[in-house]
Amino acid sequence: MTVERIEKIFLGLTAAMLLVFLGALFYSAFGMGMHLPDRAGEILPSEVRNTPPFDDPGVREVGDNQYEVVLIGAAWSFTPREIRVPAGAEVTFIATTTDVIHGVHVEGTRVNFMLIPGQIAKVTSTFREPGEHLMICHEYCGAGHHLMYGRVIVE
């Protein structure tokens, strides 16, 4: 086998891999509906607890089978720590942080987003099955990182 033949095989494999990866990206974005969370606005981290809706964090029913969760991440806890929603409800998380970068991951679901100081994140999901899901911070945020967790209870 010549060097030119080996190079052609290598280039062909590289092009095929790029096409496979691009196809996987399009499938996850359009076929499975995965996308980046919406950036719903900006907020001064020092004013989070004095600015609506973050001045009253918690779960609210906003429509027929639609709920809004206003969530604040701060060293080293989530407020509220426990979120209760009915099965099949559409839940919109509106979240931010008061200090450093945190992450929100709800185990067993597709809910996974970042909390960045100065930004408001907005993510919508539907919890179809009843159960309890652990909500953890997936971004190292300091010495008490392992204590930053909560629960999403689907009833």
C-alpha 18/C-alpha 67 separation (Å) is: 40
For 80-107, what is each residue's pLDDT tens digit?
Answer: 999 999 999 999 999 999 999 999 999 9
Overall average pLDDT of the 16-23 stretch: 95
Per-residue pLDDT, averaged over 26-55, amounts to: 83
Residues 130-149: what's their mean pLDDT? 94
| C-alpha torsion sign, points 22, 40, 116, 77 | negative
Question: Which are the contacts of 51, defined by CB distance < 8 A and separation ≥ 6?
Answer: 43, 44
* Of residues 76 and 29, more confidently modeled: 76
Q: What is the pLDDT of residue 74?
A: 93
Percent of the chain beyond pLDDT 90? 82
Strand order in the sheet with 112-115: 82-85, 149-154, 131-136, 102-106, 112-115
Could you identify the residue written with the tokens 């190292």?
140
